[in-house]
Amino acid sequence: MPTSFSQALPDFKSATHTAIISDLHLCEAEPENPKYPLWKKFKTREFFYDDIFENFLKHCEEKAQNRPVELVLNGDIFDFDSVLNLPEEPVFNVSWIERHRGLHPREERSRHKIEVILKDHAEFVRALRDFIVRGNRAVFVIGNHDLELHYPSVQEEILRHLHLPEDKRQEVRFVEWFYISNQDTLIEHGNQYDPYCMCEDPVNPYVRGYNYVSLKLPFGNLACRYIMNGMGFFNPHVDSNYIMTLPQYVRFFFKYVAKAQPGLILTWFWGSLATLVHTFFDRLSSPIRNPLKIEDHVSSIAERANAEPRMVRELKELFAAPAASNPFLLMRELWLDRAFIIFVAFFLIFQLMAFIRSVYEISFFWAFIPLFLLLPFFLFYSKSIASLVSGYKEPDDRTLAMASAITKAQRIVFGHTHHARHEIIGSVEHLNSGCWSPAFLDVECTKPLDQKTFVWISPGENGPRQAELFKFIDGKSELLTNPGRT
């Protein structure tokens, strides 16, 4: 089982200025497709923002008037699930499904993926390195799409690419799922309250296979790997791009997909089956636990998060129940229930027609009559099924209140939803840092969603620190007033 690399932790408990960004979804560069230019267009270098990130870091230093800045990279900074690159001469066996949908989340494979990402985003790495060398620090909070940051060798690969002086390496920290800044702000990616995207046990994230150790991925990650990686006209960073009604899917297919990928329905079907089967077997896998070291591990998590061991255990009790516990729910989300109904209908009608044709000489075209009669009922059923994926992304007041009580923080910052927010829920100030990812509402990538937003926490005029939500535009920060405030 992987073990964390040892380091003497510097004091991260106090911070004057904190910048929080999330959901950068850094990934490999997708080669431009001359025949189908819209194929995974959101992943091409055209939408890389490494230079903007460098300007953003310099802007944060200016806002802090050259005082040290704590940069919290709040989850989904790297998108391991979308990396399809394979090593030229792999030292491990690559399966058929890995060649088509990306490498499995095993340590040596995850290290290859982070190396690919960092090489394609060399300017991002250099900007972060210079920022840290100038006297600032960076904290990586693990989200659902970068769960592979749990592997110590992946963390070491990041540090190796940063190429920091020895005395600056300790200014970079990796934390499991939460971080407490200056004892006044709890920072989490937020996926632990989403049944579809939660890591079942971030304290013990590894599971053992026949002759390997792997990470147990959430349902949402597996769907991205097995389905979205093969459907290049759907942008996985925006729910509305792939969660649609049946008429919307039909219109989308004929407008964008029919010529480039006429067999899309087969790609979806086997990808959905692979997702369901993998999720089911992962649910049966037990985490690797060492009872003799569990308290030491909890204490280590707490120390890196500026928390107490009891907070780690108590925050863990707030996690949502994984959606993988309900395979019928997952079938509905994958549309496999509708596929099953269609299969049963065709099978029964075929059997009925075979029986009738054994008695009467009639054409098989008569089978279309019961199919057309059943169509309204099928459409009614399909329309009555609403996806629950988006409904779990927004935080509820109970979770916020309990997390605030556990950590004694009156401010909580999430990411994950890609929607920037600043609101008061009950007695808790809640912010969401939005996203920097290539999230577009259209295939042509002309309608960006909440791009380049961040949370800035700085000293108040006469008391505790205050938090504000900004959008970074043209080298300057623009205050977002009352986005979602209640």
Contact present, 456 and 61 (Cβ < 8 Å)? no
Q: What is the spatial distance between Cα 306 and Cα 316, in angstroms, rounded to a whole number?
A: 16
Segment 226-261, tens digit of pLDDT:
999 998 888 888 777 777 777 888 888 888 888 888
Q: What are the Cα distances from residue 238, in Å, to 45, 225, 318, 356, 384?
A: 19, 16, 26, 49, 22
Owner of token pair 């300790």: 170
Other Cβ atoms less than 10 A from the Cβ of 403: the count is 21
pLDDT computed for residue 327 by the predictor: 86
Q: Which amino acid is at 244?
A: M
Please state, rounded to an integer, the average pLDDT across all residues of the chain: 88
Contact present, 145 and 421 (Cβ < 8 Å)? no
Owner of token pair 């290290």: 111
Contacts of 378 (CB under 8 A, 6+ apart): 338, 341, 342, 345
Residue 368 CA neighbour count, 13 Å, CB half = 3
Largest CA distance in the chain: 92
Q: Which amino acid is at 130?
A: D
DSSP letters, 229-296, are: GG-TTS-TTSGGGT---HHHHHHHIIIIITTT-TTHHHHHHHHHHHHHHHHHHHHHPPBP--TTTHHH
- In sequence order, the β-bridge partners of residue 70 are 18, 137
What does the domain layout of the chain look like in residue ranges? 17-332+391-479, 335-384
Contact present, 271 and 227 (Cβ < 8 Å)? yes
pLDDT computed for residue 247 by the predictor: 82
- In sequence order, the β-bridge partners of residue 394 are none
DSSP letters, 85-142, are: ---SS-SS---HHHHHH---SBHHHHHHHHHHHHHHTHHHHHHHHHHHHTT-EEEEE-
DSSP 60: H
Q: Which amino acid is at 158?
A: I
Q: What is the spatial distance between Cα 351 and Cα 230, in angstroms, rounded to a whole number?
A: 34
Owner of token pair 């623009």: 478
Low-confidence residues of the chain: pLDDT under 50: 3-8, 485-486
Q: What are the Cα distances from residue 215, in Å, to 104, 209, 296?
A: 9, 10, 21
- 317-322 long-range contacts (CB < 8 A, ≥24 apart) are 318/192, 318/193, 318/399, 318/402, 318/403, 318/406, 319/192, 319/193, 319/198, 320/192, 320/193, 320/194, 320/195, 320/198, 320/392, 321/195, 322/195, 322/198, 322/200, 322/218, 322/219, 322/283
Query: What are the two backbone dihedrals, phi and then psi, of residue 441, each rounded to the nearest 5 degrees?
Result: -85, -5
